[in-house]
Chains A and B, each alone.
Chain A
Amino acid sequence: MITTNTASRLLTAAALIVGIALPMVLSDFHVFQATQMMVYAIAILGLNLLTGYNGQISLGHGAFYAIGAYAAAILMARFELSYFVALPLAAIICFIVGFLFGLPALKLEGHYLALATFALALAVPQLLKYPAFEHWTGGVQGIFVNKPEAPFGIPLSTDHWLYYFTLAVTLLVFVLASNLLHGRVGRAITAIRDQPVAAEAMGINIALYKATTFGVSALYTGLAGGLSAIVIQFIAPDSFTMFLSIFLLVGLVIGGVGSIPGAFLGAAFIVITPNIASDISKAATGAVYGLLLITFVYLVPNGAWGALTVGWKRLAGMTRRS
């Protein structure tokens, strides 16, 4: 019999092999899409840490994505840093911003936090356009970033190199998140979500944990934003509207709240749907997202990954009985 632990390791290994082999069979455009999917998966994982595991609802993670993207782009374009340096720096900046935003957010519960983060999501694009910051942010024009070439003379096209670079980052941050969530810290984070009073009685410093989770969550989403700036090589305020925050939420709910692999399913969904839906109407993506959000909360509250696991367990149960 296969235990859950071995099953998840086998699955991870299989996914990794597919991930490495994928660029050899896909066209350049699809490689780009796969890269973008991984970027979104990291962002959704960040949101999941906060909303899924810690129970703090954020409708404004697009703001941290934007801050990560702008930090990385400014460091690369204005300070001429390599993306190897700019990316971790952008992530650290996002951690600090997230931690600081998380401190006052501690006082807010449920709907109030949703409201405050919603306001953040609406305000950030406006701040990015503000003429006084134009020297740094490029205003409405945005910032162009140089396309990174493969280093050390590795014989890969830029698109393929970016794909493998993103794959490596994704693997790293997912393994870290999985370790974090399956250990003592992860149990504390979920305990705060489920039973805050009991968690406090057990000696968990709720304020510190909540603010730090906010910081780590912003770090993940900001890292994804930084990666997106490198992958797309261009950023502008209009890429970071309130709808970006909502789309991350869509990815989270569709993929599965409180599940790590669900982030990939959710990311795939938000990358692929607009391509199909925009053929029908400019408004079709929003309509599909909106209706699916409501349907999923109603019928599939654990998201696609939750439904898959339940289905798999039923199937395994059936074969064992026969």
Chain B
Amino acid sequence: MDLLIQQIFSGLATGSIYASLALALVMIFNSTNHINFAQGEMALISTYFAWTLIALGFPYWAAFPLTIVASFAFGVLVERLLIRSFHNAPHLSLVVVFIGLLLAFNALAGWIWGFLLKEFPSPVRNLNTGTPLIAAHELFVLCVTLGLLAVLYIFFRFTTLGLAMRAAALNPTSARLVGIRVGWMLALGWGLAGALGAVAGMLVAPIVYLDPSMMIGILLYAFASAMLGGLNNPAGAVAGGLIFGVVENLVGTYLIGHELKLTFALIVVIAVLLIRPAGLFGKVIVKRV
């Protein structure tokens, strides 16, 4: 019984990391219908950035927000400088650009920081939760991601800027007519996605160690989570992440072993696409031909 509860908590913790990255994917997909294959590698660069800050002697609690701000700027920059030019390009061109970014960022990380495993600190490594059911870092991950999601919810629900961003995603033409600068709203969306990815990267790095291939698997889990919850529903993506995290952990522990985690994600992706392409909570898109 204890093992089961342990595994559920551990699944919730990793699931909330997937949820952050899935939310980053959904944020970009919702406004532009693009699936950002480079999201994981952008998060990788952010995590290395944080690692460098900490190695330079910054305390964790300074490096953490600094990295988030820098990643936000990085996301905005990528959108403004590159993605904007491909806004109305065919699917294939866009997918190729995203894959190009994936390769380039992955190579950049390897080039600058090398291919050796690096240890990434957790601020709660030496703390004890007082119960064997949940580890300190897992609790920390849960608190940070849930707090972050609350902040995002408040931002989108109660601020003018959040409303403007939602309007730009929902109906760009009308939004432009009421004076919202749609282009900049998309760039802000990319910035937020970059920041979310950075949080996911910094939280997962203490668990899996930092190396240039760290995010590829996480990205696939985030895809599976986002598909499961619905690619066009932010709350759904979060729920999808938590569900996927728990189910993956339980299936891994009790049924198939941890060697087939990626295969499990593949099966989830394909099953969702076949049975319910809109995901559990997504809106069904009807296309006029």
Most buried by A among B103, B108, B270: B103
Residue A116 lies at the interface, judged by CB distance under 8 Å to chain B:
yes
**CB of A66 within 8 Å of the partner chain:** no
Tell me which residues from 188 to 246 in chain B have a Cβ below 8 Å from any Cβ of chain A. 212, 216-217, 220, 223-224, 227
- A107-B277, A126-B260, A130-B259 as given contacts; A115 in contact with B35, CB under 8 Å: yes
Instruction: Name which of A4-12, A283-291, A308-316 contacts chain B.
Output: A283-291
Is A119 positioned at the interface, with any CB of B under 8 Å from its CB?
A: yes
**B263 and A126 contact, CB distance less than 8 A:** yes
Whole-angstrom distance between the alpha carbons of A319 and B82 in the complex? 39
Give the residues in chain B near A298, CB-CB below 8 Å. 85
Interface set, chain A 274-322, CB cutoff 8 A to B: 281-287, 289-294, 296-298, 301
Cα distance A69–B115 in the bound complex, in angstroms: 28
Q: Are A112 and B273 in contact (CB under 8 A)?
A: yes
A122-B220 in contact (CB<8A): yes
Which of B87-95, B137-145, B152-160, B166-174 faces chain A?
B87-95
- Beta-carbon contact of A116 and B34 below 8 Å: no
Find B101's partner among A120, A257, A290 (CB 8 Å cutoff).
Answer: A290
Given contacts A122-B217, A293-B99, A301-B93, contact A116 B270 (CB under 8 A): yes
Cα distance, A54 to B107, chains bound together (Å):
31
Interface centre among A123, A242, A250 (most CB of B within 10 A): A123
Count chain B residues whose beta carbon lies closer than 8 angstroms to a beta carbon of A.
49
Chain B nearest CB from A70 CB (Å) reads 16
Residues of A within 8 Å of B223, CB to CB, are: 115, 118-119
B107 and A284 contacting across the interface, CB-CB below 8 Å: yes
Q: How far is the CB of B31 from chain A (nearest CB, A)?
A: 14
Is B274 interfacial (CB 8 A cutoff)? yes
Q: Are B103 and A246 in contact (CB under 8 A)?
A: yes
A286: min CB distance to chain B, Å: 3
Please state if B99 and A246 are interface contacts (CB–CB under 8 Å).
yes
Q: A236–B94 Cα gap in the complex (Å)?
A: 32
Q: How far is the CA of A126 from the CA of B252 in the complex (A)?
A: 14
Q: Is the CB of B263 within 8 A of A287?
A: no
A287→B108 contact, CB < 8 A: yes
* Contact for B97 among A115, A126, A297, CB less than 8 A: A297
Assuming the contacts A51-B92, A110-B91, asked whether A286 and B35 have C-beta atoms less than 8 A apart, the reply is no
> Number of contacts between A and B (CB, 8 Å)?
140
* A107 lies within 8 A of B103 (CB): no
- Asked whether any CB of chain A lies closer than 8 Å to the CB of B61, the reply is no
**Is A111's CB under 8 angstroms from B33's CB?**
yes
Query: A59 near B: Cβ within 8 Å?
Result: yes
Interface string of B73-117 (1 = CB under 8 A from A): 000000000100110010111111101111111111111000100
Residue A253 interfacial (CB < 8 Å): yes
* Docked CA distance A197–B287 (Å): 13
Cβ contact within 8 Å between B107 and A287: yes
**Chain B hits for A197, CB < 8 A:** 289
Which A33-67 residues have a C-beta within 8 angstroms of B? 51, 55, 57, 59
- The complex places the Cα of A187 from the Cα of B94 at a distance, in Å, of 25
A113-168: which residues lie under 8 A (CB-CB) from chain B?
114-116, 118-120, 122-123, 126-127, 129-131
Interface flag for B37 (CB, 8 Å) = yes
The residue in chain A whose Cβ has the minimal distance to the Cβ of B105 is A290
Quick one: closest B residue to A287, CB to CB? B107
The answer to whether the Cβ of B53 comes within 8 Å of any Cβ in the partner chain is no
Nearest B residue to A131 by beta-carbon distance?
B259
> With A122-B216, A253-B96, A282-B110 known to touch, is A290 a contact of B86 (CB < 8 Å)?
no
Min distance, Cβ B47 to any Cβ of chain A, angstroms: 17
* A15 contacts the other chain (CB 8 A): no
* Whole-angstrom CA separation of A115 from B91 in the bound complex: 12
A107 touches B92 (CB 8 A): no
State in angstroms the CA–CA spacing of A114 and B103 once bound together: 16
B-chain residues with CB within 8 Å of residue A286 when the two chains form the complex: 103-104, 106-107, 110
Specify the chain B residue showing the minimal Cβ separation from A197.
B289
Whether A287 and B111, one on each chain, are in contact in the complex, defined by CB atoms closer than 8 angstroms, is yes
- A127: B residues at CB distance < 8 A: 260, 263
Q: Does A235 contact B (CB under 8 A)?
A: no
* Contact A57 B266, CB 8 Å, known A283-B108, A294-B82, A297-B100: no
CA distance A109 to B86 in the complex (A): 19
- Report how far A191 CA is from B119 CA in the complex, Å: 53
Q: How far is the CB of B23 from chain A (nearest CB, A)?
A: 17
With a CB–CB cut-off of 8 A, which chain A residues contact B110? 281-283, 286
Which of A115, A131, A281, A301 is in CB contact (< 8 Å) with B269?
A: A115
Q: A119-B220, A287-B107 are in contact. List 10 more A-B contacts (CB 8 A).
A: A57-B95, A110-B91, A114-B95, A118-B220, A122-B217, A122-B266, A130-B259, A281-B111, A290-B101, A294-B97
A-B contact list, 23 entries, CB within 8 Å: A57-B95, A111-B33, A115-B269, A119-B220, A119-B223, A119-B269, A122-B216, A122-B265, A123-B266, A126-B259, A127-B260, A197-B289, A246-B103, A283-B106, A283-B212, A284-B107, A287-B104, A287-B107, A289-B103, A289-B107, A290-B106, A290-B107, A294-B97
Q: Which residues of A contact B (CB under 8 A)?
A: 51, 55, 57, 59, 104, 107-112, 114-116, 118-120, 122-123, 126-127, 129-131, 197, 242, 246, 249-250, 253, 257, 281-287, 289-294, 296-298, 301
7 tightest A-B CB contacts, nearest first: A290-B104, A293-B100, A286-B107, A290-B103, A283-B110, A110-B91, A287-B107
